[in-house]
Amino acid sequence: MNDTHAPLLELRNLTTMFPTRRGEVRAVEAVNLTLRKGQILGLVGESGCGKSTVLLSILGLIAKPGRVDKGQVLLEGRDITHLSGGEMRRIRGREIAMIFQDPLSTLNPAFHVGEQIRESLRLHHMMLGPPWPLDRAKKAREKKRVIEVMQEVGIPAPEARYKAYPHQFSGGMQQRALIAIGLACQPKVLLADEPTTALDVTIQAQIVALMRRINQEHHTAIILVTHDLGLAAEFCDHIAVMYAGRIVEIGPTDQVIEEPRHPYTAGLLRCIPHVGERRAIEPIPGNVPDLADLPPGCAFSLRCDSARPVCNEGFFRLQPASADAVKRGEGGHWARCLRLTDYQMPALED
C-alpha cells in the first residue's frame, strides 16, 4: 500500500488493563499500530494474546472495570480514546465498523435480517432527512438501499430474504448479513474479529473474498484479527504478531512470512498445514503465559528453543528486523527479540 497516505487509524502506546483478583492484567501493552486508507492489517496470535482487546479498545468497548490505561487511539488525527458514549456511538458504524466471530451473538433473533440492516442505516442517519415521520416513500428508499447492500455482500434473492429471520440463514449467510450491517454506512475502517473461524473452509474463502472486494471497491481499511497466520498471509498486506499483550513482530506480509525474525512467528509458521506436503505440523510447546504472572524479560522465553538466560533480563524493544526498517519506520519490518543484535539501531518505541 502507498505509505504516503496520512494514517487513518493510529494506536500510540495503547495499554489496556483489567483489574483481577490476582492483580492488574495488562491485556494490551504499549501497542503501536498505523492503518492507512485501503490497507489490510492482520493481527495474529494464539488465543489470549490480547487481539480482541485491541479492537475493543479502539471502539471504546472495554468492559468496566477494565480500562484503556495509557496511550491513544487516533482516527484521522483526532484523539478518540476517551470519548463519551454518545460521541463514540457516532463513530462506531459510521466511521469504524466491527464484525465478530459469532454472528448469532450480534444479530437479534426476533427481527427480520433486512430490518436489522435498515436499522443500522437509520441509526447512523445515512438516509436523507430526519428518521421521523417515516413516510412510505422514505421507507421504500431505505429498503432499496438495504437490498443493494444485501446484494453487495452476496446474499442471494435479497428481496425474498429481507423478511427472513437470522436462524433461517446458514452460518455463512449470517456472517454476510453481519458484514452488511457493518458496511451499511460505508465505514472507513472495518475491524473483523475472527470473522471466519466458525465457518467451513469454502464459506471462509467466500467471506475472505467478500472482504477483499469491499477493500478494493471502497478502499475500506481492514484490521483482521485471526489466530490463523496462513489466513493473514493470504489476505493482509501487513502483519502484526502479538504475544502476551505486546506486538512481537510487525512488517510487510512477505517479509514476516518469508523471513520471520521472532521465534514466536517462526513457531506459528510451523503450525500452518500445507496441502500436498507430508511435513508434520509442529505445535509450539507450552501455552500462552498467565498475564497476571509474566516472566521477567521476554514473555515467550519459556517456550522459545533459542532462549538464553539473558532473555529473562531486562526489557526488549522492537528492533529493526530488515535493512530498510529504520528508513521505513512504522511501515518497515520490526521484531522484539534479542537475536536481532546485528541491527542495533534506534528503536521505534519505548
Ligand X SMILES: Nc1ncnc2c1ncn2[C@@H]1O[C@H](COP(=O)(O)OP(=O)(O)O)[C@@H](O)[C@H]1O
Say whether residue 20 binds ligand X (CB under 6 A). yes
Task: Please give the residue ranges that form the binding site for Mg ion (CB under 5 A).
Answer: 52
Q: How far is the CB of 12 from ligand X (least distance, A)?
A: 19
Say whether residue 50 binds ligand X (CB under 6 A). yes
Could you tell which of ligand X, Mg ion, none binds residue 18, using a CB distance below 5 to 8 A set by kind? ligand X
H or E element, residue 160: helix 158-161
Distances (CA, A) of 84 to 172, 195, 340, 347: 34, 28, 42, 34
Among 9, 14, 30, 49, indicate the residue that binds ligand X (CB under 6 A).
49
Q: How far is the CB of 53 from ligand X (least distance, A)?
A: 3
Say whether residue 27 binds ligand X (CB under 6 A). yes
Could you tell which of Mg ion, ligand X, none binds residue 53, using a CB distance below 5 to 8 A set by kind? ligand X
Could you tell which of ligand X, Mg ion, none binds residue 20, using a CB distance below 5 to 8 A set by kind? ligand X
Q: 127: exposed, middle or buried (C-beta count within 10 Å: 0-12, 13-18, 19+)? A: middle
Find where cell 489466530 sits: 227
Phi–psi pair at 167, nearest 5 degrees: -65, -15
Say whether residue 293 binds ligand X (CB under 6 A). no
Applying CB under 6 A, the span of 40-48, 112-120, 208-216, 256-264 interacting with ligand X comes to 40-48
Q: Which is nearer to ligand X, 65 or 129 (CB)?
A: 65
Q: Which is nearer to ligand X, 162 or 264 (CB)?
A: 264
* Residue 11: strand pairing partners: 33, 73
Q: Which is nearer to ligand X, 66 or 158 (CB)?
A: 66
Edge-to-edge order in the sheet of strand 246-252: 96-99, 189-193, 221-226, 40-44, 238-243, 246-252, 334-335, 319-320
Q: Are 295 and 268 in contact (CB under 8 A)?
A: no
CB atoms within 10 A of CB 287: 11
Q: How far is the CB of 241 from Mg ion (least distance, A)?
A: 15
Applying CB under 6 A, the span of 42-50, 178-186, 300-308, 339-347 interacting with ligand X comes to 42-50
Q: Which is nearer to ligand X, 47 or 168 (CB)?
A: 47
Could you tell which of Mg ion, ligand X, none binds residue 48, using a CB distance below 5 to 8 A set by kind? ligand X
Q: What DSSP assignment string belongs to 202-234? A: HHHHHHHHHHHHHHHHH--EEEEEES-HHHHHH
